Amino acid sequence: MENPLLITPLVQPVDATVAIPGSKSITNRALLLAALAKGRSHLNGALFSDDTRYMARALSTLGVAVRAAESESSFEVDGNGGHIPAREADLFLGNSGTSIRFLTAFVALGEGTYRLDGIERMRQRPIGDLLDALRQLGVDARAENDDDCPPVVVRSNGLKGGKARLKADVSSQYLSALLMVAPLADGDLADGDIEIELDGVLASQPYIEMTLRMMEQWGARVENDDFRRFRIVGGQGYRAMEYSIEPDASGASYFFAAAALTGGRVRVPGLNKNSLQGDTAFVDVLAQMGCDVEYSADFIEVRGGNTLRGVDVDMNAISDTVMTLAAIAPFAEGATRIRNIGHIRHKETDRIHALATELKRLGVRVEETADSLTIHPARALKPANIETYDDHRMAMSFAITGLRAPGVAICDPDCVNKTFPDFWQRLGELEAGLL
């Protein structure tokens, strides 16, 4: 779709049960854990998108047998117990942050030289803190252009034990990457232990909770000292398993927001209060805005009211849903302030600035600081073509704005393929009342 995609405003409140595809964050973690395990794992309910295809393709290039069944939303992975057959590889990972960060740590287990690269935007996204931590653990891991960004070159002779101090205020993915590979560190139990101490405030802590819970499910233990220090005994192993992947909570946020915006109802099966994904807490923000939220063992449902209230909320922990909130904030009564989100400037785009720019294009008054946005109510939004900056969440978030505001068109709508390839089909079904 080369031309901007015009969003059709809804003429009545939504009333739908929406099936959301599998979580990208869980799928890419499960692919890595399955590769680290010994034996054959089956991943069910997996997401097939640009990011997960990059991850699966890279693992195959490294010698891990990965068989994809897209029609069944499943992967079959023959793990090598942490052994990497390939001694040399050049991996292209698009703009998939999870893939390049997880795999940079993964190839530290190998014996050889590995280069990891991506698109131009990926070459602007920092990875230096992860490389520094790997060097502290004896791995020759460097940015090819000495700028702390990809391309990355890792020359490894296996991952040994040791201590590393890691800055974790830019991305939680650095810590997740180190945690997942650490149980496979070489050496006996004494020499192979890894201790990671954090420097600064941890960004997006729920993603670390997800990583720890998944590691435990796959059979590895981590000593966690209040999310400040982690000790992982070396020489552990992961067990191959049959693993079911939850629907993507970040993807669900757009449809929950549609219920809030139209005063309607949306139910998403497969999510609950005990989900692995912290982004389920987005519905609690909607509750603060005046929505009714129902949690069940096998679904979450949001029912919108007559009006939305502006909120003042710290969204560091659920930062992938910042854009969803920003997209509906102009329709609230009172200003909405979103705080403690400076790290999202280092995502697929500078998301704080991109949100401010596109909201202003719609005629919304916005105040931008280094780590916050304040969005004021707007009586009526201007028609506009929304630039998406090759960022899937820009496209999906402002599509929800278009459900209430006539004339909103999304540029480069195909960028949603990164995490939600059939988003437009499902949104169209929502608009047509088919869900």
Q: How far is CA 430 from CA 7, 22, 40, 251, 403, in A?
A: 12, 19, 38, 14, 10
Task: Say if CB 102 and CB 32 are below 8 A apart.
Answer: yes
First to last CA, the chain: 23
Distance of CA 281 to the CA centre of its chain: 15
Structure tokens at 429: 């079904």
> CA-to-CA distance for 318 and 399, rounded, in angstroms?
20
Residue with tokens 């608009």: 431
Helix/strand/coil (H/E/C) assignment for every residue in the chain: CCCCEECCCCCCCCEEECCCCECHHHHHHHHHHHHHCEEEEEEECCCCCHHHHHHHHHHHHCCCEEEEEHHHCEEEEEEECCCCCCCEEEEECCCCHHHHHHHHHHHHHCEEEEEEECCCCHHHCCCHHHHHHHHHCCCEEEECCCCCCCCEEEEEECCCCEEEEEECCCCCHHHHHHHHHHHHCCCCCCCCCEEEEEECCCCCHHHHHHHHHHHHHHCCCCEEECCCEEEECCCCCCECCEEECCECHHHHHHHHHHHHHHCCEEEEECCCCCCCCHHHHHHHHHHHCCCEEEECCCEEEEECCCCCECCEEECCCCHHHHHHHHHHHHHCECCEEEECCHHHHHCCCCHHHHHHHHHHHCCCCEEECCCCEEECCCCCCCCEEECCCCCHHHHHHHHHHCCCCCCEEECCHHHHHHCCCCHHHHHHHHHCCCC
Is 19 buried (19+), middle (13-18) or exposed (0-12) by CB count in 10 A? exposed
Residue 320 annotated among the catalytic residues of the structure = yes
Question: Which amino acid would we find at residue 162?
Answer: G
Q: Active site residue: 279, 320, 391, 412, which one?
A: 320
- Please list the active-site residues: 320
